[in-house]
A and B are shown apart, each in its own frame.
Chain A
Amino acid sequence: MKRDYYEDVELFKSGTILAWSVVLLIFLFTVPIYLPSYNVYLLNVILVNVILAIGLNILVGYTGQISLGHAGFFAIGAYGTSLIMMHLHFPFLVALMIAALIAAFFGFIIGLPALRLEGPYLAIATLGFGLTIMHIIGRWDIFGGRMGITAPPLDLGISDSSLSWVIAGDVKIYYLILIITILLVVGARNLMKTRVGRAFMSIRDDDIAAEVMGVNLTIYKTMAFAVSAFYAGVAGGLYGFVVGFFDPFTFNLILSIIFLVMITVGGLGSIMGAIMGAILITYLQYDLLKNVENLPYLGGLLMTLSRKWFTVIGLANFSSIALGLIMIAIVIFEPLGMFGIWIRIKKYWKTWPF
């Protein structure tokens, strides 16, 4: 039973949730000790995608708008952060903030047509934005052109001075990204419990009704785009340093679609869903079946199948097929996405052992 409003907006609803969150945090902060470094790299990519998916879910899941151009904001974040650090020698966090704000500004601009566009029309408008950014970056020499750029050393202080504090290696970058991710997750959770979050949701459910109730559509729709783009900008800035080198083609349409897949599979309109979707899809894309030929029995079986029926590419085919099947299966059998599965598991445990 909730007795007053503040119980509804609390970050931790109960002591159990708080305790579990602490356990999770301890686990996250000690993960690099148990994992070999290539997995830490994978974790970094996952965390970057988690940030982006949360931002995209604020726009798509909570506000009911759509974006096929998030790779564009992602690119602005990546290029912005690296270029500001290279040319202006700002510390990393400052550069990251500026780049994310630039992305947010572009998000605001894209939000303006969104006031009049809906559904497929909005999808096309944002798609155009994503592709335009990719091509503009590719044509401009300051962005390294089509060749791409190497990210500068990740310096938390001021480079080339006594205040320089360079972070190198996957494990250190992991901690940096982890802290930023936690802040952004908590931030998103809080935002959704405030007036702003409720305004977003009322726009999603019915924008006319929302306007009648006094929600200013102009402000809140553009704000949803700006917040979402801000998250994408931060994710992009971090991504640049995780990979170390990127070119415009990295930020192509497929990437925007994969981002949408993450939140759809994870669960629209839930932060937990965005996190789970980002983890699952990134893992499937980066790690699934890469070593399958060494598995006992199954590896040999798949190899034979592949030789008999599939193209010369071999096992890489199965990876794509499995990825597609898993996505389809989740969407068909669990319309709420992985978040739906999570809710069911939670219910099961609440009443366990009955």
Chain B
Amino acid sequence: MKKVVIASMIVCAVFVCSLLVYAAAKPGFDDKEIRIAQWGPQTGPAAPWGSVARGSGLLFQMVNDEGGIHGRKIKYFIRDDQYNPAQTKAVVKELVEREGIFAFVGGVGAACGMAVKDYLAQNKIVWVAPSTAIDEYVFPVNPYIFAIYPLYDDEASILTKYAVEKLKAKKIAFFYQNDTYGKSGLKGCKSRMKALRMKLVEEISVEPGEKDLSSQMLRLKNSGADVVIMWVNPTSAAIALKTCSTIGFKPQWISSDTLSDYPLMNKITGGLWEGVITGMFGLATSSNDPRMIKYREAAKKYAPEERFGTFYTAGAMYAEPLVDALKRVGPKLSTEAFIKQLNATKNFQGIGPLINWSPKVHQGTDSIQITKCGPNSSYITLQDWTKNELATWKKK
């Protein structure tokens, strides 16, 4: 009998305690702080992309050291989701409902973002600069998502134009990963070729994870292409370049900005990356732009162990328009006022492209720079910010 009494008391105690834990979703800011958050794979298979989230933290740290924004400091949360959408949803819900988040920034992973996009919109939480280019984020316009990542088809179109007009390429081949990323690139390239009345001499797809690319590379060689545009992941690119160097095929390689981390690419290709031309949608880490110099100094001070690579600076780049809009809002902060200022962003220039948002268009940019990998993984700028005049979404 006594045991039963004690046991039921324990049950009651658990019930009561759990009642106390209850808390509703909190507002994302108060008089002292604005809470901003980002998810990112810090551990697991995609851990190298985790530096994006830490890069945004660098900018927030700098802002706080200058006294914050209108008296409020930025409190920044990074959560590890291991690149798993189920975990992304868990950490985002936890942050929104336990901490109270004003806005999310960056956020690596297409599936991760897609899993939380609707939840964020339902809770009226702004999401600035998703770290992937996905049509579903911006078409049709989602009032809470503000994108700055150039769409892959725009980028491919600009690079194709450069290849034809500046490199005088006669025969262009396209080598792409068989998924949305690769296919968007192919689409952009084809629409440009059509406008130029040309045709691709070869288009070859690759499955991510495929380790033997010799048959594909032989086909590229036999096509006689002088320029090969590739829309693949770093591993496939490395295998492709190595295979081509053994079969003696040396075209001009052009790639999307996802492979623009030259030191990394040179490391995994064994130095073959030199001479490859890529798109860039942020300034090179070695750039002498005053903003980049400032970030370099700050990184030395706050995060000396961090490699100052393109993913890291991309994180800062994603946070720039957010900080800019927060400054313009002034001391009377609210989500509505913040969205209004984001929508009023005109020709904002950070270390990324010019950003323009309006209530009707939330795809902030369509421009990239074109750079070439020089000796010692240096960045040589071939062409400054270039827009895609063929972009279909701008005409709507």
Task: Spell out A's residues near B (CB within 8 Å).
Answer: 23, 27, 31, 34-38, 41-42, 45, 135, 138-139, 145-148, 150, 239, 242-247, 249-250, 252, 254, 285-287, 290-291, 311-314, 316-317, 319-320, 349, 352
Within the complex, which residue of A34, A246, A312 is in contact with B19, where a contact is CB–CB below 8 Å? A34
Chain B residue nearest to A34 (CB atoms) is: B18
Known: A45-B90, A146-B179, A320-B43. Is A312-B303 also a contact (CB below 8 A)?
A: yes
Known: A42-B90, A244-B115. Is A313-B178 also a contact (CB below 8 A)?
A: no
Q: Would you give the shortest CB distance from B77 to chain A, in whole angstroms?
A: 9
Residues of A within 8 A of B98 (CB): 36, 38, 291
Known: A42-B90, A313-B42, A316-B80. Is A246-B179 also a contact (CB below 8 A)?
A: no
Most buried by A among B43, B54, B111: B111
Interface size counted on chain B using CB atoms at 8 A: 47
Task: Spell out B's residues near A (CB within 8 Å).
Answer: 3, 11, 15, 18-19, 21-24, 42-45, 47, 50-51, 54, 78-80, 83-87, 89-91, 93-94, 96-98, 110-111, 114-115, 118, 178-180, 207-209, 303, 305-306
Residues of A within 8 A of B97 (CB): 36-38
Residues of B within 8 A of A312 (CB): 51, 54, 303, 305-306
Across chains A and B, the number of contacting residue pairs, with CB separation under 8 Å, is: 115
A243 and B85 contact, CB distance less than 8 A? yes
Instruction: Report the separation of the CA atoms of residues A216 and B21 in the bound assembly, to the nearest whole angstrom.
Output: 53
Within the complex, which residue of A34, A286, A290 is in contact with B21, where a contact is CB–CB below 8 Å? A34
Residues of B within 8 A of A352 (CB): 3
A246 and B85 contact, CB distance less than 8 A? yes
Within the complex, which residue of B18, B83, B93, B179 is in contact with A38, where a contact is CB–CB below 8 Å? B93
Chain A residue nearest to B110 (CB atoms) is: A147
Residues of B within 8 A of A319 (CB): 43, 80
A286 and B47 contact, CB distance less than 8 A? no
A247 and B111 contact, CB distance less than 8 A? yes
Chain A residue nearest to B180 (CB atoms) is: A147
Instruction: Report the separation of the CA atoms of residues A314 and B43 in the bound assembly, to the nearest whole angstrom.
Output: 10
Residues of B within 8 A of A35 (CB): 18, 21-22
B23 and A145 contact, CB distance less than 8 A? no
Chain B residue nearest to A16 (CB atoms) is: B4
Residue pairs across A and B with Cβ atoms less than 8 A apart, 10 shown, are A23-B11, A27-B11, A37-B97, A145-B180, A244-B118, A246-B85, A252-B45, A312-B305, A314-B78, A319-B43
Residues of B within 8 A of A317 (CB): 43
Residues of B within 8 A of A246 (CB): 85, 111, 115
Instruction: Report the separation of the CA atoms of residues A88 and B90 in the bound assembly, to the nearest whole angstrom.
Output: 31
Known: A34-B21, A35-B21, A36-B23. Is A148-B114 also a contact (CB below 8 A)?
A: yes
A-B contacts besides A146-B179, A254-B44, 9 pairs, CB < 8 Å: A34-B18, A35-B18, A37-B93, A38-B90, A45-B90, A245-B85, A247-B110, A287-B90, A291-B94
Chain B residue nearest to A247 (CB atoms) is: B111
Chain A residue nearest to B54 (CB atoms) is: A312
Residues of B within 8 A of A239 (CB): 86
Residues of A within 8 A of B114 (CB): 148, 150, 245
Chain B residue nearest to A31 (CB atoms) is: B18
Residues of B within 8 A of A36 (CB): 21-24, 97-98
Within the complex, which residue of A27, A38, A242, A316 is in contact with B94, where a contact is CB–CB below 8 Å? A38
Instruction: Report the separation of the CA atoms of residues A311 and B178 in the bound assembly, to the nearest whole angstrom.
Output: 34
Instruction: Report the separation of the CA atoms of residues A285 and B22 in the bound assembly, to the nearest whole angstrom.
Output: 22
Within the complex, which residue of A38, A135, A242, A311 is in contact with B86, where a contact is CB–CB below 8 Å? A242
Q: Would you give the shortest CB distance from B267 to chain A, in whole angstroms?
A: 18
Known: A36-B24, A244-B118, A312-B303. Is A41-B178 also a contact (CB below 8 A)?
A: no
Most buried by B among A38, A135, A250: A38
Q: Would you give the shortest CB distance from B301 to chain A, in whole angstroms?
A: 14
A34 and B208 contact, CB distance less than 8 A? no
A243 and B89 contact, CB distance less than 8 A? yes
A247 and B85 contact, CB distance less than 8 A? yes
State the 6 A-B residue pairs at the shortest beta-carbon distance, nearest first.
Answer: A38-B93, A146-B179, A316-B42, A34-B18, A316-B80, A147-B180
Residues of B within 8 A of A27 (CB): 11, 15
A245 and B115 contact, CB distance less than 8 A? yes
Known: A146-B208, A313-B43, A320-B43. Is A45-B86 also a contact (CB below 8 A)?
A: yes
Residues of B within 8 A of A38 (CB): 90, 93-94, 96-98
Residues of A within 8 A of B78 (CB): 314
Residues of A within 8 A of B118 (CB): 244
Chain A residue nearest to B79 (CB atoms) is: A290
Residues of B within 8 A of A349 (CB): 3
Q: Would you give the shortest CB distance from A316 to chain B, in whole angstroms?
A: 4
Instruction: Report the separation of the CA atoms of residues A287 and B90 in the bound assembly, to the nearest whole angstrom.
Output: 8
Instruction: Report the separation of the CA atoms of residues A135 and B79 in the bound assembly, to the nearest whole angstrom.
Output: 29
Residues of A within 8 A of B110 (CB): 147-148, 247
Known: A35-B21, A37-B93, A250-B84. Is A314-B111 also a contact (CB below 8 A)?
A: no
Known: A36-B98, A147-B110, A148-B111. Is A41-B89 also a contact (CB below 8 A)?
A: yes
Residues of B within 8 A of A147 (CB): 110, 179-180
Instruction: Report the separation of the CA atoms of residues A250 and B115 in the bound assembly, to the nearest whole angstrom.
Output: 12
A290 and B11 contact, CB distance less than 8 A? no
Most buried by B among A41, A139, A252, A316: A316
Residues of A within 8 A of B179 (CB): 138, 145-147
Q: Would you give the shortest CB distance from B95 to chain A, in whole angstroms?
A: 8
Within the complex, which residue of A41, A135, A311 is in contact with B90, where a contact is CB–CB below 8 Å? A41
Residues of A within 8 A of B3 (CB): 349, 352
Instruction: Report the separation of the CA atoms of residues A283 and B87 in the bound assembly, to the nearest whole angstrom.
Output: 11
B93 and A243 contact, CB distance less than 8 A? no
B87 and A285 contact, CB distance less than 8 A? yes
Residues of B within 8 A of A286 (CB): 86-87, 90
Q: Would you give the shortest CB distance from A271 to chain B, in whole angstroms?
A: 22
Instruction: Report the separation of the CA atoms of residues A319 and B35 in the bound assembly, to the nearest whole angstrom.
Output: 23
Chain B residue nearest to A289 (CB atoms) is: B80
Chain A residue nearest to B182 (CB atoms) is: A146
B86 and A250 contact, CB distance less than 8 A? yes
Q: Would you give the shortest CB distance from A82 to chain B, in whole angstroms?
A: 14
Instruction: Report the separation of the CA atoms of residues A247 and B78 in the bound assembly, to the nearest whole angstrom.
Output: 23
Most buried by A among B96, B97, B115: B115
Residues of B within 8 A of A313 (CB): 42-43, 47, 50, 80
Instruction: Report the separation of the CA atoms of residues A111 and B93 in the bound assembly, to the nearest whole angstrom.
Output: 40
Instruction: Report the separation of the CA atoms of residues A42 and B110 in the bound assembly, to the nearest whole angstrom.
Output: 22
Residues of B within 8 A of A254 (CB): 44-45
Residues of A within 8 A of B43 (CB): 313, 316-317, 319-320
